[in-house]
Structure 1
Amino acid sequence: MQKTDIIQSQNDSRQYQAFTLDNGLKVLIISDPETKKAAASLDVFVGSASDPEDRDGLAHFLEHMLFLGTEKYPDADEYQTFIAQHGGSRNAFTAREHTNYFFDIENASLELALDRFSQFFTAPLFNAEFVEREKNAVNSEYLGKIKTENRRYYAGIQQAFNPQSPYAKFSVGSLETLADRDNDPVRNDLLQFYKTHYSANLMTLVVLANEPLPVLKKWVTDKFSAIPNHYAEKKVFTEPLLTEAQMAQQIDIKSLQEKRELSLIFPLPATQSYYLAKPSAYFQSLLGHEGEGSILALLKEKGWADELSASVGFSDNAQESSLHLGINLTHAGLQHTHEIIDIVFQYIRLLQHYDIQEWIFQEQKQMAMLQFRYQEQHDASSTVTMLARNLQYYAPQDVLRGPYIIEQYKPELIKQLLNQLRPDRVLIALNTQNIATDKTEKNYLVDYRITPIKPELIETWSQSPINPALALPTANPFIPDELTLKTTQTDSAHPELIKQNPGLDLWHQLDTSFNVPRSNLYIELQSPIANKTPRNSLLTSLLTGIVNKQLNSYAYPARLAGLNYSIYATERGMGVALSGYDQKQSVLLEQIIDAIKAPEITEKRFHILKARYQQKLTNAQKQQPFQQVLAELKRTLVERRWTNEQKLNALSSLTRQDLTLFAKDFLKQLHVTLLLQGNSTVIEAENIASMLDQQLALQADAPQVPAAGVIHLQEKSLNARRLTIDNHDAALALYFQAADKSPQSQAEAQLLGRIISSAFFADLRTRQQLGYNLGVAALPIKDIPGIIFILQSPVISAPEIEDRYHTFIDTYLQELQAISEQDLESYKAGLITRLLEKDKSLQTRSYRNWLEIDRGNDDFDTKERIAEAVSKIDKNRLIAVYTDWLIENPRQLRSYALGNQFINDDFPDPKLIIDIDAFKREHNKL
């Protein structure tokens, strides 16, 4: 075995060890005595790009199949039940060149979980019965997302790729691509793919737990050394994303939702091996810049675009890379796409004409160093998943710092890549609703048209004069140079209310326990008019949009320097959140408050925002059915939560003058609540509070706005909301509300949700194959506990879905009655572990505390109260709650959509369909 010294952040106290097993499996083990959760991830360096030519979706199908029984653990539900029983979660995903399997679990159960997990890669059954069933699950996943915009866009743009490129393949799979054929059953292809590619030398494994490294190493060695090494070779993809024949083309894609998205895709040479230099980061940062002199700033000035991003494109492997520029157009911008593209190429030529600026590189290097030096932990599952992929790309000693590090200055390489960004090497994509097309893609039925870019356009884009408004950014004033951790004489376990007057509540905690010079500041500006009506709710959202747009050019450098901010509408008013290095926070905050006090509501800006908000509301009605029925259920149960229809009706008549008047009225009766937590002193907190008090002219008689209440459902009641959704599938969410919001009821709902979930999945998904998007879980609406059953199905109607729920509920009662005390204690212990898991970052802790302040819990101990209540639940109580909530005295709300193929198959009780406004008026609130 080989072992390596790993470079880690000074802020990282975990212990790491990397080594390679005799079978070629690369391993990273992590010992963290503080973690409440263990986790593991195994990454196989093969994905859908390696699907056989006639078996699209095979890698994805194989990912599904591995969960369904092994020689040692033949029960198809064994793995997921064990994980759920012990407070864990599990999942997997298939990408173009990776298939990743991961889970988290309570520490005490890790060894047994690893034993089950390792069997996937040594002795899976590929049971013929489940092969047939799981095809339907893959097909349901495909059909369920057939109208999802990102899937449709990708399927469309693939038609402009080199058809021989692995990135041009249909990757999900369907009943057609996975069908048994004469002398070619799909199970044989599965077995062959598994044997060919699931070789230990193409795998990486990361395990994190509170155990010492020697213990983890022994477990890994004992359980994973049996994975066979077939000495498989990583597939090399020699066919490029775009050949010369695919460059200098435009593809127009017809969207279902209202979209106006313009993309520029450039193929580039491979850059993976230059991760210490990250040459593409130089021009990605400049092209995606949003400050003064940037592409976006000029496009905004012209009223043609309101968002721009620059990122790694569709291909990024050892053979090639690419660059993707995405621009969100306004209605006006849609009429000026050629001029917009011209401006992009003007800026690119500006960069090409300049020498590479070392000071820009040094800024990027400094921020990357700070990001790594002061990184905060992610949760266990995210950590292992990310690192398992990193282990495939970086030298073992760089597995932690690889994504961050920028230390080698290679101006000649940057210049070489930059010179590839030419009009004759671009693929342009325009994704919008009303556009002429002449072909239809076969899997997602996307209409598209491909046309060559005219030579005269290429000439114009190559030679047009550079607009004087375009310029390189100036030095970033927000990069911190004061990174000292502050101290205090008194340590508090949670934030304290250090100032309270009729207009303002100030909470503060100096918290440097994560050893980062950062602070999080949350501010809520409560206004009694903010959410009083659908119209006011819209005006509040538009006001936050205006403020965000107004600040963007000024504040974008702050984001680059690790100081993030957001301004957003809340149910009580407007929220402002700042997070990051504390040194320059007050400077940014003063600019934010100035913008709120004096918003620049120009006619152009107002109409762009109004159109964007209309687009957002309209598109929300075209999301997947399960998403819509769930959102509607939540809206129905909460006071002052307006429907999309209500907002759309109010939006059409709004004018710039309406918003101007509203912005002034919004400021008149503000009550401010704020929390400052992190590397900030009491004096700094008080200074911020005084600034807000003075700048916003807070009034002593300003009322606090109460939180919106939750509708109280009556015992033995059933209410319904029916949505009309243009989709093939039926979808139904059935919600059971608890009688109160006590910690006991919250504990009971969470425990029941965890216990039921695996059996529900195994029955309706694995055995009955009713759909891909389904589940049962505890669903608190605000603090009111409840349990939700949800399913989107391509095979049965909404009434039949509900019948299956009730059949399951009645049948499962016997299983619950038969649960052993040992299994019940395992579920309880696992849930308690999850509840009491320590905050991984200052951001996580501050946000949790902010929610506690919002719910009025000065003790900041909601999780602890629920965990204590979980510990007191016995079997008799659990059965009594299950029977009462779900069978004998249910408080039910049904939210559903019939689906196009079941349009005539509705429930026979139309009187249950509620009018949401009348419903909220008539019912009491909890």
Structure 2
Amino acid sequence: MHNYISKFYKTFTMIALMAFLSCCQDATNNDITKSSNDINQYKHLTLSNGLKVVLVNYPETEKAAAVLTVGVGSFDDPKSRAGLAHYLEHMLFLGTEKYPKPDEYHEFMSKHGGHDNAFTASENTTYLFDINADQLEEGLDRFAQFFISPLFTEEYVERERNAVDSEYKMHMKNDGMRIYHGIKQIINPQHPMAAFSVGNLETLHNQNNSLRKEVKRFYDDKYDASKMYLAIVGPQNLEILQSYAENMFSGIQTKCPCTTIDGVFPEILTKDEIKKNINIKSLNDAKSLSMIFKIPNQVADYKDNPAKYVEYILGTSTPGSLYTKLKDKNYISGLSIGINNIGKTDALFEIEFTLTDQGFTHKSMIMQDTFDYIDWVKKHGVQKWLFEQQKKVEIRSFKFSERVQPLSLATNLSTLLREYPAKDLLTVYFLQPESQFPENKIKSLLDTFTPNNLVILNVDSEVDVNKKEKYFGTEYKIDDIDINLFTTLNSKRTTDWMLPKENIFLPENFDIVTSNEKEKLPILVSADNDIKIWKLNLERFNNPRTELILSLKTPLVSDSAEYFIMAGLFTLMINDNLTEYATILGDAGISIGNDTTRTGLTINISAYRDNIDRALSLSLMKFMKSDLSMERFASIKTILVDSLNNYKNAKSFQMAISEHDSLLIKGNFSNTELLTAINNVDYNKFVKYTSILRSSVVDVTALIEGNINEQNTQLIEQLIAKYIRINKQLNIPKIKNVSIPEKTMYWEVHPTDKDSNVLISYYPIDKSDYITKAKLMLLGNVISTPFFDELRTTQQVGYVVAARADSSYKQLGVQFIIQSPNYKQRDLLHRVDKFISDEYDQIKTLPERELEEHKSSIYDNLLDKPKDISSSLGQHWNILSKEDTDFDRNEKIAELVMKISKDELLEFYKEVLITNDKHLLIVNDTHDLIGIDKIESIRGLN
């Protein structure tokens, strides 16, 4: 399920943002509405230059973050300069008057445990970073200079132009980007959404050295303090955070009164674009049908949110719904709905169906059923009791919403502040007690869903096309909707539709249970040796939610590629069985997912303490008694085959990383092996396998964290014992790493992207003790920024450049990654080798103060406590899944990091990167490596 327009028009919001504040208007000082469980303190203000600010005192964190959103995006590109807003985003990172070195900002952030990034969206550009909290003031000072005194240094103009072009080329085979640019062909050509927005060498040409002047003029004209929205999040109190904002960001210029009105564009779909059918040819094997309607902009109604009700009623998976009827006919495997507010006046409402092979031949029936259901909803589905039920669900969800990381919180606040009143920033996505049933607005919105207001989007790898889009080569075809189809869609039929019924999963008890002991780490609480249950009461979060991961180990997964693929089919069918419960589970605050691992199957559940037993019972029942119909098997097998076939279209560096990780684990299967295996699996073989699989579980391990006590864990243990029978005749599967010989070896990947080369140069480490992990973390932290700055910023070898400490299960190593459109593997390898040699000398002269900063950065990151139940569970499961129970290892490694001397680091560097005879290369073309000593295929090691 893609919602192509949603994916690339929106940034972080599910509905677009409301532009109603004048650029010179002062924000009021109303309190920001927050959950009673939220321990953060909030403040919003407007600086003297008009810049709007939200401050968050975020207790109990080692991290701080800042995000600044500018109300300028790709829609503001001059017609003759597609991609200029994106190019400007790149240029701001390359030095300011106060901090002129182009790599200084990134180096400072990296050295202090931080990350920095930016993204250009349609109507805004967002700049962001996080950092160790004690360095927030210094980080903000560097950050603010982007918007006060950027240099736009002449020597970097051409270089960053190439960087944008490399980014553009990297996305050339990205199906999402290609399809989005196909959709642009149906948009009103006078609307900025119809334009190319990424930028490349052609649109960002530098004839007569004009580019620097134009990007600087664009910055001077558009980047105004009154169009900027800043969020700062940290453990500092609000007074200190306010002083940071005032002292560092008041120097940004303002140009009020405003000379332009933001968000006012031509109509996105005129009568010339409505009632059209557009076919878009995808690279991936995928079949989807979207029904797109132009509707009025919805953001002004965010408090009562009629669009949310319509999304819910059209997308519900309860019996008698549109989804259930179409799935029962085996027409669809998925349904998603997206609303995209664009500018001030327009929005697009998209209903997207993921089609089965059978559904592909019945698209007119799907659309006819959809209109029939919409007509029924107009008459019977607009119900106050259903709205009130949803309001109750959302009030509960808001009350018990978990904390998010500082950077995520800052990003949401900054992007929302541009469009919503500050007091509502945290409640935008939730109905509140004061929300009123918007019956008339719901009906008015439903009235826009007619064949006379329809655009049909068909996406398929074999669809009929006759044109090619200029920048991404997307093949497409646009026609009027066929008159016979139009007549069919306007005809009336009767189907037995139904509204959602009573929800048996809704929680009622939200009490917070206390633990007899103040648990800090998971403890083993089960008495059964065959069922090991670990529990951690997270009373400190004061949240009634509970999360569970259940591992069912069996050798009938990794013993052969055929077993592995059938286990994957089985988990997909269980998840498919659960889709009929998706709506009622979601309303009850429950999510369930089943996955296949190298050692068996896992069940992941997030719920409340009051209903996690019901969720687990449903999951285990589906594991033992899933509906394995031949029809659904055929559809899901097709989905999996398509997914395996689509692997060839992955980005080169992503494919290389995937292959690299797979090579280091024994028992992994290549994509080719899995494709061969799935073609040998028929329905009868699959059903027989699942029967055996259910009785081949040899070990059960569960980790439960959150609002949990001993009675809950006992009930969970009883449920597991009720459904799962342990087979003691089989051996417990073990994960083992590949032993890499003392030589240089290669593995070749075969992406369809022939316009760039990829290289991973990997140096494995034999040991995995804590001191080795500590040294590896420090080494990775020291070299990552210099490698990026030298090869990406200075040498411009490509857009994807990274050096990192790597861990694949228990195999440690150092990984250098490059994807380049301009250089061959041999040249890339020489550049990596030269960096390794030069960096050794650089570390020799590294001041002790800087080394201590690197060490402190790692120390703070390792000791930063999880902010929510999910993060805590993930951190501990990462340890437990590796057959380890040392849950406080981060603290131990952190202490070891602080004790590493420069001499010890240099000795480790030399041992791993200079004298190490073990060396693995992942490349996409081995011909270029002829002549390099000791190159031989790694094939067969697994």
Which bracket does the TM-score occupy, shorter chain normalised? over 0.9
1:638 aligns to what SS in structure 2? coil
Tell me which of 419, 422, 438 is aligned to 1:410: 438
Offset from partner CA, 1:472-495 (integer Å, 9 cap, x none): 222333332221112232232222
Distance 1:524 1:355, change over 3 A: closer
**Which residue of structure 2 lines up, in the alignment, with residue 653 of structure 1?**
680
Question: In the alignment, which of 190, 199, 210 is matched to residue 215 of structure 2?
Answer: 190
Is 2:27 the counterpart of 1:4? no
Matching residue within 150, 170, 179 for 1:153: 179
| Contact 2:109–2:131 (8 Å) recurs in 1 | yes
Q: CA deviation at 1:551?
A: 2.1
Separation of aligned partners in 2, 1:252 and 1:700 = 55
In 2, distance between residues paired with 1:597 and 1:442? 52
CA deviation profile, 1:551-594 (whole Å, cap 9, x unmatched): 22034310233210101111111100110222222222222212
User: Which residue of 313, 320, 342 corresponds with 1:316?
Assistant: 342
The Cα of 1:247 is off from its aligned counterpart by 1.0
Corresponding residue to 2:827 among 796, 800, 818 = 800
1:591 paired with 2:614, answer: no
Give 2:238's aligned residue. Answer: 213
> Greater CA deviation, 493-502 or 368-377?
493-502
1:97 maps to: 123
Tell me which residue corresponds to 1:919.
Answer: 941
Q: Secondary structure at the match of 1:73?
A: coil
Distance 1:915 1:892 in 2: 11
CA displacement at 1:729 relative to structure 2: 0.7
1:838 Cα offset (Å): 0.9
Match of 2:931 in 1: 908
Secondary structure in 2 aligned to 1:354?
Answer: helix
Q: Which amino acid aligns with 1:544?
A: T
| Cα distance, 1:624 vs structure 2 | 0.4
Indicate how the Cα distance of structure 1 residues 890 and 222 shifts in structure 2: closer, same or farther if over 3 A, else same. Answer: farther
What residue number does 1:923 align with?
A: none
Tell me which residue corresponds to 1:36. 62
Structure 1 window deviating more from structure 2 (485-494 vs 817-826): it is 485-494
> Residue 385 of structure 2: which of 327, 334, 359 is its match?
359
Q: How far did 1:821 drift?
A: 0.3
> How many Å separate the matches in 2 of 1:318 and 1:866?
52
Taking the TM superposition and a 5 Å limit, the aligned residue runs for 1:328-367 are 328-354=354-380, 356-367=382-393
* CA deviation string 1:591-621 (max 9, x = no partner): 2212211222211111111111111111112
Encode CA deviations 1:609-637: one digit per residue, 9 max, x unaligned. Answer: 11111111111121000000110011111
Match of 1:667 in 2: 694
- Give deviations 1:198-229, integer Å, cap 9, x for gaps: 10000010111111111111111011000000
Give me the TM-score of the superposition, normalised by structure 1. Answer: 0.96
CA distance in 2, matches of 1:513, 1:746: 30
CA distance in 2, matches of 1:404, 1:462: 35
Please point out which of 903, 907, 920 is paired with 1:893: 920
User: Does the Cα contact within 8 Å between 2:592 and 2:619 map onto a contact in 1?
Assistant: no
Q: 1:459 aligns with which of 459, 466, 487?
A: 487
CA contact (8 A) 2:744 2:934 kept: no
Q: Which residue of 2 aligns with 1:382?
A: 408
2:705 and 2:729 mapped to 1: Cα distance?
28
Letter in 2 for 1:147: K
Please report how far the alpha carbon of residue 906 of structure 1 lies from its aligned counterpart in structure 2 after TM superposition. 4.2
User: C-alpha distance in 2, partners of 1:424/1:909?
Assistant: 65
Q: Deviations over 1:622-670 (max 9, x none)?
A: 1000000110011111111111101001111101111111111112231
Aligned residue in 1 for 2:4: none
1:704 corresponds to which of 723, 732, 739: 732
In structure 1, the partner of 2:307 is: 280
The answer (yes or no) to whether the contact 1:202–1:234 under 8 Å persists in 2 is no
Looking at structure 2, the residues matched to 422 and 804 of structure 1 have their Cα atoms a distance apart, in angstroms, of 60
Deviations 1:167-205 (A, max 9, x none): 1111100000000235x7111211111111110000010
Matched to 1:607, the amino acid is: A
Larger mean CA deviation between 764-773 and 671-680 belongs to 671-680
Matches within 5 A, 1:287-306: 287-306=314-333
The residue aligned with 2:875 is 848
Letter in 1 for 2:843: L
1:368 pairs with 2:368 = no
Instruction: Rate the CA distance shift 1:608–1:910 in 2: closer, same or farther, 3 A.
Output: farther
The answer to whether the aligner puts 1:689 opposite 2:717 as a matched pair is yes
Counterparts in 2 of 1:116-127, with a 5 A limit?
A: 116-127=142-153
Identify which of 413, 422, 437 aligns with 1:396: 422
**What amino acid does structure 1 have at the position aligned with 2:343?**
N
Q: Give the deviation of 1:683 after TM superposition.
A: 1.8
Contact kept, 8 Å, 1:291 with 1:473, in 2: the verdict is: yes
- 1:134 maps to which of 160, 166, 171: 160
- Matches of 1:561 and 1:323 in 2, distance apart? 26
Which runs of no fewer than 5 residues in structure 2 stay unpaired? 1-25
SS of structure 2 residue aligned to 1:912? coil
Q: For each residue in 1:270-321, what CA deviation from the matched residue of structure 2 results, as whole angstroms up to 9, or x when unmatched?
A: 11111111110001112222221222211211111101101123x4332222
Query: Quick check: 1:9–1:374 contact (8 Å CA) kept in 2?
Result: yes
Partner of 2:11: none
Q: For the residues of structure 2 that align with 1:890 and 1:156, how far apart are their CA atoms?
A: 49
1:554-569 equivalences under 5 Å are 554-569=581-596
Q: Report the more deviating stretch, 135-144 or 163-172.
A: 163-172
Are residues 783 and 836 of structure 1, via their aligned partners in 2, closer, same or farther at CA, if it must alter by over 3 Å?
Answer: farther
5 Å matches for 1:121-270?
A: 121-181=147-207, 185-231=210-256, 232=258, 233-270=260-297
The 2-side partners of 1:905 and 1:858 are apart by 46
- Establish whether residue 475 from structure 1 lines up as the match of residue 498 from structure 2: no
- Alpha-carbon displacement from aligned partner over 1:666-697 (angstroms, at most 9, x marks no partner): 12231211122222221221122122212223
1:443-458 paired onto structure 2 within 5 Å: 443-458=471-486
| Residues 216-270 of structure 1: CA deviation (Å, up to 9, x unaligned) | 1111101100000012445233312211111111110111111111111111111
Distance in 1 between residues matched to 2:721 and 2:593, nearest whole Å: 20
Task: Name the residue aligned to 2:16.
Answer: none
Alpha-carbon distance in structure 1 between the residues aligned to 2:35 and 2:523? 31
C-alpha RMSD over aligned residues: 1.6
Spell out, residue by residue over 1:482-522, the C-alpha distance to the aligned partner (whole angstroms, 9 max, x if none).
Answer: 21112232232222111243422122233222111111111
Residue by residue, what CA displacement relative to the aligned partner does 1:417-457 show, whole Å, maximum 9, x if unpaired?
Answer: 11111111111111111111111000001110001102332
CA distance in 1, matches of 2:40, 2:825: 50
The partner residue of 2:573 within 523, 546, 550 is 546
What displacement does 1:910 show?
9.6
After TM superposition, the structure 1 stretch with the greater mean CA deviation from structure 2, 410-419 or 144-153, is 410-419
Secondary structure of 1:76's counterpart equals: coil
What is the rounded CA distance, in whole Å, between the counterparts of 2:560 and 2:840 in structure 1? 44
Cα distance in 2 between the residues matched to 1:306 and 1:331:
10
Alignment pair present for 1:615 and 2:631: no
Contact 1:555–1:588 (CA under 8 A) maintained in structure 2? no
Question: What's the CA shift string for 1:132-167, capped at 9, x where partnerless?
Answer: 100000000001110100000001111111111121
Task: Name whichever of 62-71 and 558-567 sits farther off.
Answer: 558-567
Work out the percentage of aligned pairs sharing the same amino acid. Answer: 31
C-alpha distance in 1, partners of 2:629/2:934?
48
CA distance in 2, matches of 1:45, 1:561: 37
Question: Alignment partner of 1:108: what SS?
Answer: helix
Structure 2 residue matching 1:394: 3-state secondary structure: coil
Range with greater deviation from structure 2 (70-79 or 341-350): 341-350
In 1, distance between residues paired with 2:738 and 2:927? Answer: 31
- 3-state SS of the aligned residue for 1:905? helix
CA contact (8 A) 2:288 2:459 kept: yes
Alignment-mate amino acid for residue 462 of structure 1: N
* CA displacement at 1:914 relative to structure 2: 2.4
